[in-house]
Structure formats: C-alpha cells, structure tokens
Amino acid sequence: MNAAEYTTLFAFCTAMSFSPGPNTTLAAALAANHGLRGALRFCLAVPAGWTLIMVGCGLGLGAVVTGVPALRWGIKIFGIAYMLWLAWKLANSGTMAQVDSARLNVGFRAGVGFQFLNIKAWMLALTLSAGWVVNAAGQPSSNPGERLAIVCAVMVVFAFASNFSYALVGSLLRNFLEHGKRLLWFNRALSLVLLATAIWMVGI
C-alpha cells in the first residue's frame, strides 16, 4: 500500500471504530457494571471476531451474505433481537447486585459470536475488502493476501483500542455510578443507544 492508501485506511478505521455502536456501548456498559477486568474479555473478543469476518469476506463469504437475502436478514434479525435483549437487561439494572443477578456479562465467546450477528461489522468488512484488499488505488490488486493481512492487523489495533477506551471511561465512572440511581439512568441511556442501533440496523 502507498501512503495515500494508508492515510485513507487509518481515517476510515478511526471513524468506524471510535464512533458509538453496539460494541463500544457494550464495552462501556460492561466496565461500568463489572469493572475494567470484567469488560476486558469482550474488548479482546471484538477484534478476534471481526478478524474472522474479515478473513471470511476475503475468501468470498461476504459475497454469499450480500447475495442471499435470507441469510442477510437472518443476521439482521438475530443481531437485532440480541441487542434488544441486552438493552432490556441494561434498562432494568439499577444496582451492581441487579446486574450480577441478571447475568449481564458478555464474555470472550459471546463477544466473538456477537460480531457475526452485527451487520455493521459485516458492512465494514465488505467495504474494507472492496476498497483495500481486492482493489489497489482503483485497480485490481496484485497482492490481495498481503493487503488482507495488513487490513486485519490495522483493524485489530483499532478495534481493541476503541473498545478498551470506552471500557476505560465506563470503569472510571463506576464509583460515581454506585450512588443513588445514577447507575440505573446510565444503563438506561446505554440501552437507548442499543435500541437506536437496532432500529438503524433494520434499514441497512
């Protein structure tokens, strides 16, 4: 890749990774409710799951997802249902004890699996595959395997950094949120973000 391609890749990855979404929202919620250590497995799961999707897109799986409407809608429906379930759990958790009893805990395996239900992750992988893997500055690339490895490495860094940043903010708010109904309203605000994301996913 040349300097211009790297610049646009970094800018695109920054915008997509650090903008609020289901992953960053969950990272912040998990850290606020369970502490930074409780969110760390999810922060590691996001880049792991996304890399599997990216490799799959590079091998042609993305074309299958976009070419089979039933499969695309299946991913959407299950992803939306999962986000609505998480939003409901968050909205009804006002204390740390309630969070623990409700088992609002998305570990590594669940975090990896969630990426396959996240239509935003699929769209991101497809865009990167089309723009930076199979094409090079508008022309068919001669080294798609090498370019796929570069894109995956870049996105692993951005995916972890963005989710860890949100988790860090959530963990720093943990002591503040323990008092009164602050945690309840924080969880409800994040549940609204998940709800808005689910509604947005319906239209893409």
Instruction: Tell me the per-residue pLDDT of 147-168, one tens digit each, with 9 for 90 and over.
Output: 899 999 999 999 999 999 999 9
Question: What pLDDT score was predicted for residue 70?
Answer: 81
Higher pLDDT among residues 21 and 99, named by residue: 21
Q: Which CB contacts under 8 angstroms, 24+ apart, belong to 38-41?
A: 38/105, 39/167, 39/170, 39/171, 40/164, 40/167, 41/107, 41/108, 41/111
pTM of the shown model:
0.80
3-state class (DSSP) for residue 140: strand
Looking at the chain, the whole-number percentage of residues with pLDDT higher than 70 is 89
Residues in the chain: 204
Spatial distance between the Cα atoms of 204 and 202, rounded to a whole number of angstroms: 6
**Between residues 136 and 174, which one has the greater pLDDT?**
174
User: What 3-state class would DSSP assign to 139?
Assistant: strand
